[in-house]
Amino acid sequence: MENPAVNPPPRAPRKKLATSRTALDRRDWIEAAIDVLGREGVGGLRIEVLAKRCGVTKGSFYWHFRDRQDLLQAILEHWRLGRIRDIEKVTAVVPGREHEQLHYAIDVYGASRNRRGMGIELAVRDWARHDPQAAAVVESVDLYRLECTRRLFEGSGMTEADAKSRSLLLYACVFGLSLMHYAHFDDNLDDLKQRIAERIVAA
């Protein structure tokens, strides 16, 4: 007499192994690299260091990038697009309210709240001093900034020549102030900055 067939117990579903390929996506690598860039400069962007910082192997890096230069190009493009989005948001205006928007732009760019963002900006600019590709990206962002505020000044009634000079003056001021330590220069810095903004914006 044959023994009845015994079906083997069902196997537990196999768990997917977490691999370095799925642990981080391309954007994660870029964000981690930008954070290092802001603190250590472009010289700190080493594949081994980034992989260790992210808790993955170098294999994850090469899944998303051909080499270090590919990562550097991606960082520059990410920074460029982010700056353009920020510029458009800060300079978008309802016709007839250009003066208010210019004051807003000066307040935003002249504020010292975003230390991380300023650190990244300075690191990219330092990078651009000795790298033609980075220099071209920085120039494209600066020209876009100047063009957007030029349009605001023209919309407020200035000639093209005056609008260009005021636009350049605006950024020379806010970026210059970001590099200076002047907390003890005046007892009322907010009032001082407001008077500076009035001089830049006034027709």
Residue 75 has pLDDT above 70, yes or no: yes
pLDDT digits 0-9 by tens, 24-63: 889 999 999 999 999 999 999 999 989 988 888 888 899 9
Residue 42 CA to residue 107 CA, distance in Å, equals: 29
Q: Flag whether the pTM goes above 0.75.
A: yes
- List, in order, residues 6 or more apart from 65 with CB less than 8 Å away: 26, 29, 71, 74
Comma-separated ranges of CATH 1.10.357 domains in the chain: 68-201
Residue 111 has pLDDT above 60, yes or no: yes
Residue 66 has pLDDT above 90, yes or no: yes
Q: How confident is the model at residue 17 (pLDDT cuts 50, 70, 90)?
A: very low
Comma-separated ranges of CATH 1.10.10 domains in the chain: 18-65
**Number of other CB atoms surrounding residue 161 within 10 Å:** 8
Taking domain 18-65, whether its CATH number is 3.30.70 is answered by no
What is the structure's pLDDT at 35? Answer: 94
What is the structure's pLDDT at 177? Answer: 87
- Give the mean pLDDT of the chain: 87
Taking domain 68-201, whether its CATH number is 1.10.3470 is answered by no
Residue 95 has pLDDT above 80, yes or no: yes
Residue 72 CA to residue 78 CA, distance in Å, equals: 10
